[in-house]
Amino acid sequence: MECTVSWIGAAGTRSGMGFVAETGSGHVIAMDGAPDDARPENGGRNLAPRPMETVLAGAGGCTAYDVVLILKRGRHDVRGCSVHLSAERATTDPKVFTSIHMQFSVTGRALARDAVERAIALSHEKYCSAIAMLSATARVTTGFDLIEA
């Protein structure tokens, strides 16, 4: 897996904190920093997600992918899955994630609670690389809601 991240500054200038990631699969992700009123030269323009937001989004995508795939492979009638992530970070550098809560909403027909619970557990304990890495510094908790389709 490869990725190239390039500093683009603010609208192509060499000020600001805008970056573009070009992934090995040929996709582009823009990232930017928060504005810094005290030191504008070090701040972003808030035009794209922060790099750590993309890490959190990647973890959510990784586990949601697993949950849907596990349920489908179990021949469960899953029709939707979303996960809301809320995270806390350390107050000192490096400001790693210290806690992450993932609240899943899984939609389907006659989905069994234990099947959804098992799919989430399998994702977090065995399959999701992002969660495995983040678990080194963060306490990861989960919850879920079932929505009948």
Percent of the chain with pLDDT over 90: 82
Backbone angles phi, psi at 63, to 5 degrees: -75, -35
DSSP SS3 for 47? coil
The pLDDT value recorded for residue 43 is 78
Q: Confidence class of residue 13 from pLDDT cuts 50, 70 and 90?
A: low
Q: Where are the beta strands (DSSP E) in 8-76?
A: 19-23, 28-31
Across the chain, what does the average pLDDT equal?
Answer: 93
pLDDT in tens, 93-115: 999 999 999 999 999 999 999 99
Query: Considering the entire predicted model, what is its pTM?
Result: 0.91
CATH 3.40.50.1100 matches 51-148:
no
Domain boundaries, the chain: 3-42, 51-148
What is the structure's pLDDT at 8? 87
Handedness of CA 78, 82, 86, 89 (dihedral sign): positive
Per-residue confidence (pLDDT) for residue 12, from 0 to 100:
56
**46: phi > 0 → left, psi -120 to 50 → alpha, else beta; which?**
left
Q: How confident is the model at residue 146 (pLDDT cuts 50, 70, 90)?
A: very high
Q: Does residue 41 contact residue 27 with C-beta atoms inside 8 Å?
A: no
